[in-house]
Chains A and B, each alone.
Chain A
């Protein structure tokens, strides 16, 4: 059976959810072989085996942390050479996309980014993409070389499918470009204890209507009552009310949760680009004409300072 290379996104050995989703998609195409790099790489094996990886190729070297992107491309290329896979799947993070694209040029293959689904097809994997702020759905293929495809979070279910997950050390030799861009300092993002924005099942977002950094406490309280991640519009981020890392939209994170709740957000096209594929959309806005209402499954025309706290209290009461 054809082998499918899956690039593993992990933090010190803890596999992130989008990678487990990739394993579900990879199993539709062949047998997943995972590639885990950097600190804790070997610790990923158990989780990967549990979700279908027949093999886990691991490599660690200081270069992965000390230089940008290219050492990881060198390693993925070494795995590609070793396995001769039928396709390469990579999570659609900013870094994942760059790694995938550079690998693709090197191996003479086309690349598809931000797929939201993949199916096996007669002429290789068929990827579904959401185009133009998700107003179109396209189906595409890689027509030259071995398909390299990056996949957005929340695009497939995480499924247990136990497999061997045999760990093998991957031999990597770094090329001359590997040390081109030095990482001279790194400040890890502080954890809020809330779910990761792109991976969360529920996202509660606030916009300009929240009107102040201190008022984001009511958005956070609603999020916490639902076990949700907190998002923000660019207007709220630009005003300094919430960190840029929480921005949802074209130049922020793109999210696709089961439930998206927008409070005090008008629904500009660039915001919609990042949340339009959410399953259920809810909005609270005092302007009945706000474009966000065109998208909603349920909308409340009202003042968020009345509606949101009442909703939070009600959620807490129902959860008892």
Chain B
């Protein structure tokens, strides 16, 4: 039996660009280039490695996002994923984590899976909770924030480096996994990979295909609301001195003036 791996990938505004909120207080996607969230490249990488280890495996990349989110899917396909699923619907605009996770869970069930792999956090919302919510919604074990992951004999094992301890985890499949940026550098797409990606299937799904009502998602259907977003005032220009032998002492003087010493 083939191992079915679904990788959740998010299309996000480039963090090095000028990220902003739009008038409706959702992420402004017009003025900044989007890309595959860099932390999801690690999820794709681990999925590909697990697939290479398994005798027979299929890697499907899944995104919930606007039309341009196809770019994120293409990138993952060019890295080596087999096929892609794109949930795209105007009613999804402004979905919070509860709405997004509902859509992902339904799409994952429809696609079929033995393991779901996600990134540790998106680089825009950066909540770091979606994989745990998916596990709750799907009713399967969560094996999250792994810096090392392995799938063998119907089991997933891995290491989670927590705040106070490092833990070794084990769960039976099916399961939801998330991996950190310590799990191993992601590969670059090869020219061959980029060419091959153009021919790989991308399935498009709408809310109707997933039996989700429009009022369960989007800005209106979300369970949280953003009331305001204000740009942080620019920091007032600080004092900058050039070290001419007394830099450390001058800095100590500043720290003393601020009562740190």
Query: Interface of A with B (CB < 8 Å)?
Result: 11, 68-70, 73, 93-95, 97-98, 100-102, 104-106, 109-114, 126, 130-145, 177, 180-189, 202, 226, 244-245, 250-251, 258-259, 269-270, 273, 280-282, 284, 288, 293-303, 306-315, 318-319
Given the known inter-chain contacts A131-B229, A142-B223, please indicate yes or no for A105 contacting B163, CB distance below 8 A: no
Say yes or no: B224 contacts A140, CB within 8 Å: yes
Whether B230 is near chain A, meaning CB under 8 Å from some CB there, is yes
Known pairs A69-B144, A270-B15 / 6 extra A-B pairs, C-beta < 8 Å:
A140-B227, A188-B165, A273-B126, A282-B254, A300-B248, A318-B252
Whether B242 is near chain A, meaning CB under 8 Å from some CB there, is yes
Say yes or no: B164 contacts A188, CB within 8 Å: yes
Given the known inter-chain contacts A110-B224, A143-B223, please indicate yes or no for A135 contacting B232, CB distance below 8 A: yes
Say yes or no: B143 contacts A251, CB within 8 Å: no
Q: In whole angstroms, what is the CA distance A71 to B243 when docked? A: 55
Chain A, residue nearest B105 (CB):
A105
Given the known inter-chain contacts A140-B226, A142-B224, please indicate yes or no for A68 contacting B169, CB distance below 8 A: yes
Chain A: minimal CB distance from B15 (Å): 5
Say yes or no: A301 contacts B248, CB within 8 Å: no
Choose from B135, B145, B243 the contact partner of A303 (Cβ within 8 Å).
Answer: B243
Whether B141 is near chain A, meaning CB under 8 Å from some CB there, is yes
Say yes or no: B133 contacts A177, CB within 8 Å: no
Chain A: minimal CB distance from B172 (Å): 8
Say yes or no: A137 contacts B164, CB within 8 Å: no
Q: For A143, what are the chain B residues with a Cβ–Cβ distance below 8 Å?
A: 222-225
Say yes or no: B133 contacts A182, CB within 8 Å: no
Chain B, residue nearest A225 (CB):
B261
Choose from A137, A273, A281 the contact partner of B232 (Cβ within 8 Å).
Answer: A137
Q: Can you offer 20 A-B residue contacts whose CB atoms are under 8 A?
A: A94-B162, A97-B128, A98-B128, A102-B133, A110-B96, A110-B98, A111-B97, A111-B98, A132-B15, A139-B229, A144-B224, A180-B142, A180-B172, A181-B169, A183-B167, A187-B167, A226-B260, A258-B260, A259-B260, A269-B15
Given the known inter-chain contacts A143-B223, A189-B166, A298-B254, please indicate yes or no for A310 contacting B247, CB distance below 8 A: yes
Q: In whole angstroms, what is the CA distance A184 to B150 when docked? A: 14
Whether B120 is near chain A, meaning CB under 8 Å from some CB there, is yes
Given the known inter-chain contacts A284-B251, A306-B248, please indicate yes or no for A136 contacting B132, CB distance below 8 A: no
Q: For A318, what are the chain B residues with a Cβ–Cβ distance below 8 Å?
A: 252, 256, 261
Chain B: minimal CB distance from A14 (Å): 11
Chain A: minimal CB distance from B165 (Å): 5
Chain B: minimal CB distance from A173 (Å): 17
Chain B: minimal CB distance from A226 (Å): 7
Chain A, residue nearest B228 (CB):
A139
Say yes or no: B258 contacts A302, CB within 8 Å: no
Choose from A251, A295, A309, A319 the contact partner of B180 (Cβ within 8 Å).
Answer: A251
Whether B190 is near chain A, meaning CB under 8 Å from some CB there, is no
Say yes or no: A70 contacts B142, CB within 8 Å: yes
Say yes or no: B137 contacts A189, CB within 8 Å: no
Say yes or no: A182 contacts B170, CB within 8 Å: yes
Whether B4 is near chain A, meaning CB under 8 Å from some CB there, is no
Chain A: minimal CB distance from B247 (Å): 4
Q: For B214, what are the chain A residues with a Cβ–Cβ distance below 8 Å?
A: none
Chain B, residue nearest A201 (CB):
B260
> Which of B55-63, B74-82, B86-94, B233-241 lies on the face that meets chain A?
B233-241
Whether B24 is near chain A, meaning CB under 8 Å from some CB there, is no
* Complex interface bits, B177-202 against A, C-beta within 8 A gives 1, otherwise 0: 00011100000000000000000000
Say yes or no: B142 contacts A184, CB within 8 Å: no
Q: For A140, what are the chain B residues with a Cβ–Cβ distance below 8 Å?
A: 224-227
Given the known inter-chain contacts A68-B142, A306-B247, please indicate yes or no for A136 contacting B21, CB distance below 8 A: yes
Given the known inter-chain contacts A98-B129, A110-B223, A188-B164, please indicate yes or no for A105 contacting B142, CB distance below 8 A: no
Chain A, residue nearest B119 (CB):
A251
Whether B73 is near chain A, meaning CB under 8 Å from some CB there, is no
Whether B140 is near chain A, meaning CB under 8 Å from some CB there, is yes
* Complex interface bits, B1-40 against A, C-beta within 8 A gives 1, otherwise 0: 0000000000000011001110001000000000000010
Whether B250 is near chain A, meaning CB under 8 Å from some CB there, is yes
Q: In whole angstroms, what is the CA distance A35 to B87 when docked? A: 39
Given the known inter-chain contacts A138-B228, A183-B169, please indicate yes or no for A297 contacting B145, CB distance below 8 A: no
Say yes or no: B239 contacts A298, CB within 8 Å: yes
Whether B110 is near chain A, meaning CB under 8 Å from some CB there, is no
Whether B171 is near chain A, meaning CB under 8 Å from some CB there, is yes
Given the known inter-chain contacts A189-B164, A301-B241, please indicate yes or no for A136 contacting B230, CB distance below 8 A: yes
Chain A: minimal CB distance from B47 (Å): 19
Q: For B165, what are the chain A residues with a Cβ–Cβ distance below 8 Å?
A: 186-189
Chain B, residue nearest A127 (CB):
B224
Those 9 A-B pairs whose CB atoms lie nearest each other, nearest first: A302-B243, A310-B248, A110-B223, A180-B141, A101-B129, A314-B252, A311-B248, A98-B132, A144-B223
Q: In whole angstroms, what is the CA distance A244 to B166 when docked? A: 12
Whether B204 is near chain A, meaning CB under 8 Å from some CB there, is no
Whether B52 is near chain A, meaning CB under 8 Å from some CB there, is no
Q: In whole angstroms, what is the CA distance A273 to B238 when docked? A: 19
Chain A: minimal CB distance from B119 (Å): 10
